[in-house]
Amino acid sequence: DAMVIQNPRYQVTQFGKPVTLSCSQTLNHNVMYWYQQKSSQAPKLLFHYYDKDFNNEADTPDNFQSRRPNTSFCFLDIRSPGLGDAAMYLCATSRDAGLAGGPTYTQYFGPGTRLTVL
């Protein structure tokens, strides 16, 4: 089955120690997203890749970076995690028609990585 995979499912890191979360997809979608979801809150978009183009949300802290080495993989790097960065991190994908118009396709989510910062 085509799907969105996130690894690891649970990640524990120390305050200030860099951490990388991984997302892969077999859907061949051209857009990949990273959302942050804190406890009892709705997911909040951090950034997305449209093909190779990186698009940062205006209020995403500089502490968060992302890499997309190929269509299938996308990484979330947190350079110096703080206690406030403890959250569920959700990867999503979609296939968009592009700026020429057409419907925005559905976003499909992975199972998430729960990050704990000690």
- Give the interface with other proteins as residue ranges (CB under 8 A): 6, 31, 33, 40-43, 45, 48-50, 55, 57, 88, 90, 92, 94, 96-99, 101-104, 106-112, 114
CB of 118 to other proteins, least distance (A): 19
Query: DSSP 3-state assignment of 79?
Result: coil
CB of 66 to other proteins, least distance (A): 13
Residues 6+ apart with CB under 8 A from 9: 111, 112, 113, 114
Q: Provide the residue count of the chain.
A: 118
Nearer to other proteins, 16 or 72 (CB): 72
Nearer to other proteins, 69 or 102 (CB): 102
Q: Is the distance from CB of 22 to CB of 6 less than 8 angstroms?
A: yes
Nearer to other proteins, 39 or 70 (CB): 39
Largest distance between two CA atoms of the chain: 46
CB of 52 to other proteins, least distance (A): 12
Report how far residue 36's alpha carbon sits from residue 115's, in angstroms, rounded to the nearest whole number. 10
CB of 16 to other proteins, least distance (A): 26
